[in-house]
Amino acid sequence: MRKSFCTTAILLAFGFVSSCGVAWSADAPLENSDCVKCHAKVVHENQADGGKHKTEVGCLDCHVGGHPPSTPKEDIIPQCSMCHSGEAHFELNNCLGCHQNPHQPLHIVFGDDNVAACNTCHPAQVNEIKDNPSAHGEFDCSLCHHDKHGYIPDCMECHEPHRPGQTYSDCITCHRVHQPTNVTYGQDIPNKDCGACHGDLMDTLAAGTTKHATLQCVYCHKDTHGYLPACQDCHGDPHPQLMMKKFMKCTDCHKDPHDLVK
């Protein structure tokens, strides 16, 4: 039975007979080294990039229990859960949707509905994007991370910079991509990056003749976009109380922090 299947199959499918008798002798069950004779493509894929499905397991650890035609094909295709269980990631559906080739398990291709799957390993990023509603949270992770695990996009794949010459590393000094509307920054923002949108103020400040002209925007507008400092935060109460009683605001005499009159 086996022998006749084999001869027929090999003749039809592969056009050679010599290895057949060896592989399919009833006394000599199949071994891992036999598979290449008839499944060369699979074996070569596995050799080239099988990862732990090459080093930790062999063909027959997965394809157990026989071989067609004596055993139906579907009975020798393993469930992933045979060996992978006990983690959230292993409760997902459609393992082969991403791990498209079980013989090269780290060749991963994402579909277009991945949030739950990414969440099994990156809950911090999934929570960050959910907890801070923005346009980015409307998309699947794969809009930006494409279908290749670990891919980091450049903002300019989808956006124009605020000023010419701005690069990705500038963008992320102000924006955190998974919560893009919460603009926060350190002390390393050059005035021209604020001036991209507040050009008039940048020019006014730079044209000044007082010591304010030498300061960075973010020295005064610390940390969070839109933060307004008070003069007293830095200067305390420089004038006698009596004098100040007559004036409501520092700017009544000093005009404007960006166009300071001394």
- Touching ligand HEC, residues 73-132 (CB under 6 A): 73, 76-78, 80, 82-84, 89-90, 92, 94-99, 102-103, 105-106, 108, 110, 114-115, 117-118, 120-122, 125-126, 129
Closest CA to 222 of 210, 234, 211: 234
- Whose CB is nearest to ligand HEC? 51
Cα 195 from chain centroid (whole Å): 31
Return the SS3 of 99: strand
Interaction between residue 2 and ligand HEC (CB under 6 A):
no
Which of 1, 26, 27, 52 binds ligand HEC (CB under 6 A)? It is 52
Cα 55 from chain centroid (whole Å): 28
Nearest approach, Cβ of 12 to ligand HEC (angstroms)? 8
Query: Contacts for 192-195 with beta carbons within 8 Å, 24 or more apart?
Result: 192/163, 193/162, 193/163, 193/166, 194/218, 194/221, 195/163
Q: Interface residues for ligand HEC in 205-244 (CB under 6 A)? A: 205, 210-212, 215, 217-221, 225-226, 228-229, 231-235, 238-239, 243
Q: Interface residues for ligand HEC in 153-192 (CB under 6 A)? A: 153, 155, 157-159, 161-162, 166, 170-175, 177-178, 180-181, 183, 185, 189, 191
Q: Interface residues for ligand HEC in 130-149 (CB under 6 A)? A: 134-136, 139, 141-145, 149
Nearest approach, Cβ of 18 to ligand HEC (angstroms)? 11
* Torsion angles phi and psi, residue 205, rounded to 5: -60, -45
CA–CA separation, 195 and 162 (whole Å): 9
Nearest approach, Cβ of 257 to ligand HEC (angstroms)? 4
Residues 108 and 98 sit within 8 Å (Cβ to Cβ): yes
Which of 56, 75, 112, 223 binds ligand HEC (CB under 6 A)? It is 56
Nearest approach, Cβ of 26 to ligand HEC (angstroms)? 13
Query: Contacts for 109-113 with beta carbons within 8 Å, 24 or more apart?
Result: 109/147, 109/148, 110/141, 110/142, 110/145, 110/146, 110/147, 110/148, 110/149, 111/142, 111/147, 112/140, 112/142, 113/140
Nearest approach, Cβ of 54 to ligand HEC (angstroms)? 7
How many residues in the shown chain lie near ligand HEC by CB under 6 A? Answer: 137
Q: Which residues, other chains included, contact 68 with Cβ-Cβ below 8 Å and sequence gap of 6+?
A: 5, 76
Nearest approach, Cβ of 33 to ligand HEC (angstroms)? 8
Which of 2, 39, 107, 132 binds ligand HEC (CB under 6 A)? It is 39
Cα 93 from chain centroid (whole Å): 21
